Chain A
Amino acid sequence: MIETIAQVQMPVDEKLSIRRQRLRADAKKDSGNRICIVTGIHGDELEGQYVCYETGRRILENPHYLTGTVDIYPALNPFGIDSVTRGIPAFDLDMNRIFPGRKDGDMNEYLAAEILHDMEGAGLCLDIHASNIYLTEIPQIRINELFKETLLPYAKLSNVDFIWVHGASTVLESTFAHSLNSRGVPTLVVEMGVGMRITKEYGDQLVDGIFSLMKEQGIWSGPVDRVRTPVVSERADDVCFLNAPVSGVFLKQKSHNSMVKKGECIGVIINPLTLEPACEIRAPESGLLFTIREYPIVDEGSLMGRIICNAPVVSSFL
């Protein structure tokens, strides 16, 4: 059943609506539990589009296994998705910095408040992002250390390759996930693939994870695949960042999800105008390359990759 959870009149003959698809078990079988699958806060991140569709498709294929409610929100920022814009068009505003919103606020604050309101009481929520247009990421879940105890057990059931527990920061308090976690709905932030594209393989992997979570939540009684064991990074120095030392054109030589050795070349930065010798980018530590730059143009400082350099955990992954 499609329902509109919030609607705003635009100036010129259009309504902006946030809609969800609700798939619900027969009353006899309904455990009363609910999971929310959310994506499209960033309008140029599309990996979640396939995940929403595939999750719904598999449920409709075997509806008799459904024992709870699955709410699918494929587009929290419909104008952004329509206009290939990360933020909210016309406001130059990151929608993931306006939560929890306010019912009596402006249109964006109002939408944020209604969105949270609609999800209150759910047992679990997944907020699916796709890195951005510059970087490709292996399927991973990012957890604010404040919510680690609640979220880590769920994250381990999600069939992702990597779980990154990161430090708290004041700025992140205005994110969707932080707001929903603060209201008692465990919310996992998934990052995978790359902006503006869909990586079907990753989508299928995450959908398997969603079904394993649904099973755990008593929402799905059908068979589920065994999930993979993720690498977990809990210390800040587990992750090293590769930032461009010069501006230029980055050519990657390693792809994401590859193991690299300390000193190994990950890519080069070339200058097609000056034809200077290429600047080689070498791994500062051995580990798993979980982020790699996709968009070739770099300014000095641009992020080109990230490595999990926590060796023992990485070896258990292999």
Chain B
Amino acid sequence: MKEQTVFEIKALYRDDFRVKGYTFGSGEKSLCIVGSLRGNENQQLYACSLLVQKLKKLEEEGRIAGGKEILVIPCANPYSMNIKKRFWSIDNTDINRMFPGYSEGETTQRIADGIFKNIKDYEYGIQFASFYMPGAFVPHVRIMKFMDYVEQAKEFGLPYVILHDVRPFDTTTLNYNWQVWETKAFSIYTTSTETIDKKSAGQAVEAVLNFMEKEKMIRYCGDEGYHSRVVDSSRMLTLRTKDAGFFECHVQPGERVEKGQLLARVLQPYDGACLSELLAPEDAVVAFLHNEAMTYADTAAFKLIMERADEIR
């Protein structure tokens, strides 16, 4: 394992801003893994730390294939993590809206550029990502629709491969720019973001190792994982709250639910009266759930993968 500083900025009163990378093996740039880009992505950083541990051990045991180089950047934004702020300290900009970056531009554009220069030539790129809405997701790997590497996405052995549409603001994300630069990019979503979920972090690491084994980057004998089901995100059913109030959730991410099953209730916050119930409209799997104490009305409380939905590909 080689530690390197990928990008650095001198600060006025804080320690230097540093983005660190860990390299395993040497040779062609095979795989780059990026952990947290935002200050609240504790789980993503944690998953990366587990991966660094595993890769270090595999390297010591001589199990990394010759001629393959793997780079892990656990954290692209230590400054925001240390002050518990989601975005950049001074101007609140999001590094994951600045790719591919610009070396002469503003601070977060420079950071994005400094990182991207070092990671754009890898064959595969994996980001441990967090969802833009607060909530818990069933572990899955996500790629943009119409990519020709769906089969490889299945090699992670996660329960689901979700294909998503590109929205205007996606064009400045790491994942999008990776694939513009012809890196096959995957985003891995685990269950949590701010809190650590050891089980799903471990599952994400296992998934990356499965992928690396199938792509012959390492010799590894792990858990085979799942036979992934490919789901088009636009075909997931979104259930929205009708009312605002306390959100009392009755299910877990990944849980199978039956038609008519109670998923959640929204309660009046002063007298506890039930304002509305959310019921499963069909047999389904809970892909995503809102997990905050309160909810607004019309919030996407659940995303469901319907049992009957046609499998694509």
Which residues of A approach B to under 8 Å, CB–CB? Answer: 8-13, 86-87, 92, 97, 104-107, 110, 132, 134, 170-171, 173-174, 241, 243, 246-249, 271, 273, 297, 299-303
Contact = CB atoms under 8 A, between A and B. Distances in A.
27 contacts: A8-B298, A9-B243, A9-B244, A9-B297, A10-B244, A10-B296, A11-B244, A11-B245, A11-B246, A11-B294, A13-B269, A87-B92, A97-B169, A104-B240, A106-B240, A107-B297, A107-B299, A170-B168, A171-B169, A174-B167, A247-B12, A273-B12, A299-B107, A300-B107, A301-B106, A301-B108, A302-B106
A9 B268 CA distance: 12
Given A86-B92, A110-B298, A302-B106, A173 B12 contact: no
Interface stretch (B83-91, B137-145, B189-197, B212-220): B83-91
Interface in B72-129: 86-87, 90-92, 97, 104-110
Interface-central residue, B12, B97, B168, B244, by most chain A CB under 10 Å: B12
B10 A300 contact: yes
Contacts of B294: 11-12
A171 B171 contact: yes
Given A11-B296, A110-B298, A134-B91, A301 B107 contact: yes
Contacts of B171: 170-171
Interface class of chain B by DSSP: loop
Contacts of A86: 92
A105 B270 CA distance: 27
Given A11-B244, A171-B168, A105 B298 contact: yes
Contacts of B270: 12-13
Interface of B: 9-13, 86-87, 90-92, 97, 104-110, 167-169, 171-172, 240, 243-246, 269-270, 294-300
Contact of B110 (A170, A174, A300): A300
B74 to A, nearest CB: 22
A12 B268 CA distance: 8
Nearest to A169: B171
B300 A12 contact: no
B296 A243 contact: no
Contacts of B108: 301
Nearest to A246: B10
Interface class of chain A by DSSP: loop
B246 A92 contact: no
A18 B10 CA distance: 44
Given A9-B243, A9-B244, A247-B9, A303 B169 contact: no
A299 B9 contact: yes
Nearest to A91: B133
Contact of A299 (B86, B90, B172, B269): B90
Contacts of B240: 104, 106
B110 A301 contact: yes
A106 B299 contact: yes
A86 B88 CA distance: 14
A9 to B, nearest CB: 5
Given A9-B297, A243-B106, A271 B12 contact: yes
B298 A106 contact: yes
B245 A243 contact: no
A5 to B, nearest CB: 17
B163 to A, nearest CB: 20
A11 B269 contact: yes
Contacts of B92: 86-87
Nearest to B176: A170
Question: Which 7 A/B pairs are nearest by Cβ-Cβ distance?
Answer: A301-B107, A11-B244, A299-B107, A173-B168, A301-B110, A11-B294, A170-B171
A247 B11 contact: yes
A126 B62 CA distance: 65
Contacts of B110: 300-301
Given A87-B92, A249-B12, A300-B107, 7 more contacts: A8-B244, A10-B244, A241-B104, A297-B12, A300-B110, A301-B106, A303-B106
Contacts of B298: 8, 105-107, 110
A101 to B, nearest CB: 12
Contacts of A87: 92
B78 to A, nearest CB: 14
Nearest to B40: A92
Contacts of B269: 11-13
Contacts of A303: 106
Nearest to A132: B91
Contacts of A174: 167-169
B90 A92 contact: no
Contacts of B246: 11
Contact of A302 (B91, B104, B243): B91
A92 B87 contact: yes
Contact of B90 (A170, A173, A246, A297): A297
Contact of B104 (A105, A243, A246): A243
Contacts of A9: 243-244, 297
Contacts of A132: 91
Contacts of A171: 97, 168-169, 171-172
Contacts of A299: 9, 11-12, 90, 107
A106 B298 CA distance: 5
